[in-house]
Structure 1
Amino acid sequence: MNITFNGTKGFVVTEAIKAYTEKRLSKLTKYDEDIKEIRVTLSAVKSKTGPIQTAEVRVHLGGYNIIKAVAVEDDLYASIDKVEGILERQMVKYKEKHKEDKYIAAAKAEQKIEYNAEERLIRMESTKKIVSVSLSPKPMHVEEAILQLETLGKDFYVFINADTGEMNVVYKKRNGDYGHVEPENR
């Protein structure tokens, strides 16, 4: 793993800062061993409200995949810590996404292809698996369902709304907010 440092606007990157940053960013290898290069850009600006310390990191993975994070804090070490946390979350998402890609590739491999020479036809047949899950949702309020969603680390959570008695679903949106799905009463 190659780490390069840049300082902007006359900012000098000291050996202590380099060592601290390398120590923090070396944790990223547990998420992906194929990290080609990490580029770190550090800057410090004085403003009326106080110093602004910025850490920007670009992680170059295999192929053209780049993960980028920026953190701004009053303290440079705090911004390095924050950017490391952001990168860890992004690396987990990246790893999960590529794990799903492997499952998709495996599903495509389950396709059967037959060639009939007499008719000069290619027939392709694929098998798709449907997994059935039975639920016994419990009555609770929406806030409790969101807490269960976070506690279990799931993408969605099915429950019986204690207020209406109807089956509802809560889910986490990409922007970090929560969605609530309930049946429409006509």
Structure 2
Amino acid sequence: MHVIVKGKQIDVGDALREHIEESLENGVAKYFDNAIDAQVTLSRISHNFHTECSVHIGSGIDVTASADHIDAYSSFDSTLERIEKQLRRYKRRLKSHHGKERYQAKMAFAAQSYVLAPEPEDDTDDAEAQGDWQPMIIAESSADIPDCSVGEAVMRMDLANLPAMMFHNSGTQELNVVYRRPDGNIGWIDPQVAKTKKSA
């Protein structure tokens, strides 16, 4: 596994870099022996070190986690602990999925992903001025929409620590969305159900 360790406005020393590379390779290998690459970024937030880690284990599946701690080593160790917990939870499903990687990769859709600036906080009561506001694109990147089951979409969303995920439902052949609800449950939007009811 290729591991990239970066510091955002901080210097990552050789000892910490070696600790991160060795610990991450050993930690991931306990659950998944064919991980492709990983990226670890350390930064400072106030008095704490903040560690973000993303491990790419194939076919568009990424495992991500982050943690803060006053000590850089502890910040990384807490992040790795979360990565290992996610891998342990989905170990069996990841192993069976790995054999279907080429098929799944072919069935993925390419899409464009955008980050929009939030609406400015303005105390004005001018409804006309507020209605004219258009969100500004501040970042864009490409994204893959996987072809998978609802269960696998939930797994992918959980592993990547995302609030929502769009996927091509392999059962209905429709675009679906799974998302985290405020009550802790997972929501699932399936347009196919609405179409069936309408045609009935």
Per the normalisation by structure 2, the TM-score is 0.46
> Which has the higher Rg, Structure 1 or Structure 2?
1
